[in-house]
């Protein structure tokens, strides 16, 4: 299944480059310093232009498990939520990944934004296993969408076919 209705919202899976999506928000797999490096952050930096990093510099940083919002610069998405996932090995990884996802969803309601696309946070440079990531991100998202929210759509955008299949299995 590539789509699941939860409450008044829908969870949807797509494969591809998250920076091509025209959702209200795309999520950056960020670090606590909010310095855009490689992976998703690198693609956002390249397509979104320097404004996003400048806004991140003004914010200065956040905690692991935290999330902050900037504009989307030249991206199709109007905003970027920078969600800080854990590096594997640092401890309390599952809770931190859950919080990074949850804090992003809370920002959506705070700013009254309706559509969001997440990458598989922490599963690239930060080394987190994709199956654990799928379980945690999908579980907390389902839980959140069952409560009071004005979010309409949550997309998980997976880079590879195999990552997509792991998320698809978890969603079922
Ligand atoms: N669209 C969708 N998914 C992507 C894209 C893309 N364009 N590019 C990579 N992925 P990563 P992390 C997948 O490394 O592990 C940076 O230096 C990728 O295959 O972007 O949280 C930051 O500045 C993987 O499954 O994020 C931080 O310092 C997933 O996105 C650090 O990396 C996340 O990979 C964050 O590391």
pLDDT (tens digit, 9 = 90+) per residue, 129-145?
999 999 999 999 999 99
By alpha-carbon position, which residue is closest to atom 18 of ligand 1?
A: 124
Distance between Cα 159 and ligand 1 center (Å): 9
Residue 58: predicted pLDDT: 98
104 Cα–ligand 1 center, Å: 16
The pick from 39, 52, 77 for probing ligand 1's pocket by mutation, whose C-beta has the most ligand atoms within 8 angstroms, reads: 39
Residue 121 neighbours by CB under 8 Å, 6+ apart: 27, 29, 83, 85, 97, 100, 101, 128, 133, 137
Query: How many Å apart are CA 128 and CA 135, to the nearest integer?
Result: 12
- Provide the pLDDT for residue 1: 61
Distance in angstroms (rounded) separating the CA atoms of residues 60 and 134: 29
Domain layout of the chain by residue ranges:
2-171
> What mean pLDDT is predicted for residues 37-56?
98
What's the confidence (pLDDT) of residue 15? 97
- Strand order through the sheet with 25-30: 3-6, 9-15, 153-158, 115-118, 25-30, 79-84, 67-71
**What's the average model confidence in pLDDT over 101-122?**
98
Q: Which CATH class is domain 2-171?
A: alpha beta
Ligand 1 neighbour 85 (Cβ under 6 A): yes
């Amino acid at each position: 299944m590539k789509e699941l209705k939860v409450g008044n919202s829908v969870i949807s899976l797509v494969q591809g480059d998250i920076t091509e999506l025209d959702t209200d928000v795309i999520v950056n797999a960020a670090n606590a310093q909010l310095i855009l490096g490689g992976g998703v952050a690198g693609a956002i930096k390249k397509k979104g232009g320097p404004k996003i990093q400048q806004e991140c510099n003004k914010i200065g940083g956040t905690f692991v498990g935290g999330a902050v919002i900037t504009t989307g610069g030249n991206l199709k998405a109007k905003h970027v939520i920078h969600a800080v996932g854990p590096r594997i090995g640092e401890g309390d990884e599952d809770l931190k990944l859950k919080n990074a996802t949850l804090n992003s969803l809370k920002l959506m309601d705070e700013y009254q934004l309706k559509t969001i696309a997440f990458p598989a946070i922490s599963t690239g440079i930060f080394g987190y296993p994709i199956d654990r990531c799928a379980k945690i991100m999908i579980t907390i998202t389902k839980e959140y969408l069952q409560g009071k929210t004005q979010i309409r759509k949550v997309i998980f955008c997976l880079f590879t076919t195999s990552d997509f299949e792991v998320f698809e299995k978890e969603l079922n």
